[in-house]
Amino acid sequence: MKIVRTIADLMAAVADARVAGGTVGLVPTMGAFHEGHLTLMRRAREANGTVVVSLFVNPTQFGPAEDLTTYPRDEERDAALAQAEGVDILFAPSVDQMYPAGFATTIHVSGVTDVLCGAHRGPHHFDGVATVVTRLFGLVRPDVAYFGQKDAQQVIVVRRVVRDLALPVRVESVPIVREADGLAMSSRNVHLDTDARQRALGLNRALAAAQTAVDAGERDAAAVLAAARADLDAAGVDPEYLELRDPDDLHELTRLDRPALLAVAARVGATRLIDNRLLTPPTRSDA
């Protein structure tokens, strides 16, 4: 595996790899790898001739009161894990490489960034995500880019950027990877103490309760949300948001007559967690 830190070295390494033929798969990350990241790398490895992983804690997607300085970082460990998964190029740039002096461009996506995490973290968050991902796409020019479904809104935003700018890359979403007890894997999970870790399980239980209600025939969004909220209350978790949204454009849903994205965010202790589930009403033959 080649570790590169400059844009010039990245572009040269990718150009050399393309000479060998095959597609290029990109896995954009902020590091602190867990099984979710490794799953993305494996998916990329299975399908592409060259796998590029970026490792960059992107400052532009963090607000002033957010956890940029405490975000977990361990490049040596991450590099070893990436190498074990057969990654070809690990791009670990400095902030100055990604945003050199005079950098003045921001990618803003309207509509789908105004709700959920966009509403609570502020417009800077998805502006930062869209800008850094677009920059990575321009540098690597991947055929396929891999993202985890845990960040469902991020996937929707990136797909909108790709569609609107006609970028020649396919965005592949990979299902959420969970711990044995159901907690969605996240780099921030390391900040949970024993009590917070147990309370955090309420997020996935709430999603499961909503699916149970839908499977039982409930179609009213308020009733489905109430079923999910009951499990959050039982866990002592007050959600930042708990909403049912259209999985394509994120407009709010009042009835579940088709698949719906149930998304939740909550601070458990000092740690902000997100999770989601696609709720699919059973067809008449399934009922």
Q: Which residues are catalytic?
A: 37
Spatial CA neighbour of 41 closest among 139, 140, 138, 147: 147
Host H or E run for residue 174: strand 170-174
Spatial CA neighbour of 269 closest among 70, 79, 107, 119: 70
Nearest 5°: the CA angle 279, 219, 149 is 15
Host H or E run for residue 278: strand 271-279
Strand partners, 52: 26, 89
Spatial CA neighbour of 266 closest among 202, 194, 190: 202
Burial environment of residue 9 by CB neighbours within 10 A (0 to 12, 13 to 18, 19 or more): middle
Read off the tokens for 271.
Answer: 């740690």
Host H or E run for residue 45: helix 35-47
Question: In Å, how far are 215, 224, 226, 248 from 281, measured between CA atoms?
Answer: 6, 12, 17, 17
Q: Which residues of 57-89 are buried (b: 16+ CB within 10 A; e: fewer)?
A: bbebbbeeeeeeeebbeeeeebbebbeebebbb
Q: What is the DSSP letter of 41?
A: H
What does residue 147 show for φ and ψ, rounded to 5 degrees?
Answer: -135, 150
